Structure 1
Amino acid sequence: MKLLILDRDGVINHDSDAYIKSVEEWVPIPGSIEAIAALSKAGWTVAVATNQSGIARGYYDLATLDAMHAQLRSLVQAQGGEVGLIVYCPHGPDAGCECRKPLPGMLHDIARHYAADLKGVWFVGDSKGDLQAALAAEAQPVLVLTGKGHRTLEGGVPAGTRVFDDLASVARELIHNSAR
């Protein structure tokens, strides 16, 4: 199985320090929907692991989050692709849960769901926590320079981290290399 795991905010859609609280605020980054569809059509399973502490903070509810993810699935489907498992952490940063990145809980949930080994699986994110979660799960950390990516890069990234401009460039790389 060719598995790719993505963070959501800042990788697939624009991020906001004020949180993405509605479907109207959930705006895809140019090229991200097409990238996911292209990966899917090329035989990749694209899963999503996203911290969503706005739920614990009361900024939005699970129905709103589900609607955002339904919108993501619909847009990718319209391009001929599909989104795999979407897992989220609804907890705040002080909840002490096992799922919130930088802990690897959500990545392990995806691995269990697909009966996959995460060693070498690319986890694409835009934050230090994403990269730390990838390392903790023995996945390959991949940083995109969308969202908080530039700020993360300036702060230093773990050795071996792959860096790309955006999700579209990640997709081009994976599709090109898997076609060989």
Structure 2
Amino acid sequence: MDSSAFASFLFTLSLVLISQPASGANLVEDLCNQVGEDSARCLQVLKANPKIASAKNDIQLCKSVLETGLKKAIAGQNYLKEVMKTNPVPAITECATVHYNGVVGSFKGSLGEIKEDGMTANYDAKVAGDGPETCDRGLAAAKINNPAITALNSEILLLSKIAFFATNKLPDSA
């Protein structure tokens, strides 16, 4: 093969490789790069989930991130309800009921809007973070220091942030 044929072959090969859709790993890395200072935590959380790591496109990635957020929000709310049984102070009760009801509802709402209304899905993903922030403020005001609840709120807040950036790529409407 002469040099011009070889150069043409390499050029064609590079065009084919560039036109291929991003792999799940690249989608995850691109998403986590947008998260900013939490990018390392983002990579740790997302790469630990095989469904997220194998996403083939933005819609699959959004759906998997939101499903993970919803699953963890429900588990977190159940945990808070158990804490509430042994420590029934108003701040913990509000976290377990009012604030985490909102978190679960926001993740569910965002998941339901993925294909219909990207802008609403994006908004719901963002407001899912309001619950953990409000819970943290309520606990601080009541002078309650519970590292497990703080860690839960931090994780849910991160998932909301990741979901916000993931859904930001969705079209406004189908």
TM-score, normalised to structure 1, is 0.28
Structure (1/2) with the larger helix percentage: 2
TM-score, normalised to structure 2, is 0.28
Structure (1/2) with the larger strand percentage: 1
